[in-house]
Amino acid sequence: MMISDIAAILTGERMLTKYTGGSEPPSHDEIARLAYHFYETRGRRDGQDLDHWLAAERELTRHYR
């Protein structure tokens, strides 16, 4: 991972840009990036990884349906 990738994650840039809708669900990588963003912005508390993952999955799916 490069500095530009970290900056993009922290700012949310490119977070939703790969997924273009269509019939394909969001990729594992897209969900993981958004889930990590949720982890960072919600205080970096451990033990909520599943909640962050499911919230990211819902957000990406809802946003592009």
Q: What is the per-residue pLDDT across 2-58, written as a single tens digit (0 to 9) for each?
A: 555 655 666 665 554 454 555 678 889 999 999 999 999 999 999 999 999 999 999
Asked if 64 and 21 count as a contact pair (C-beta separation under 8 A), the reply is yes
Note if the pTM is more than 0.85.
no
Task: Give CA separation, 5 vs 2, 8, 34, 61, in Å.
Answer: 5, 5, 13, 23
Asked if 35 and 56 count as a contact pair (C-beta separation under 8 A), the reply is yes
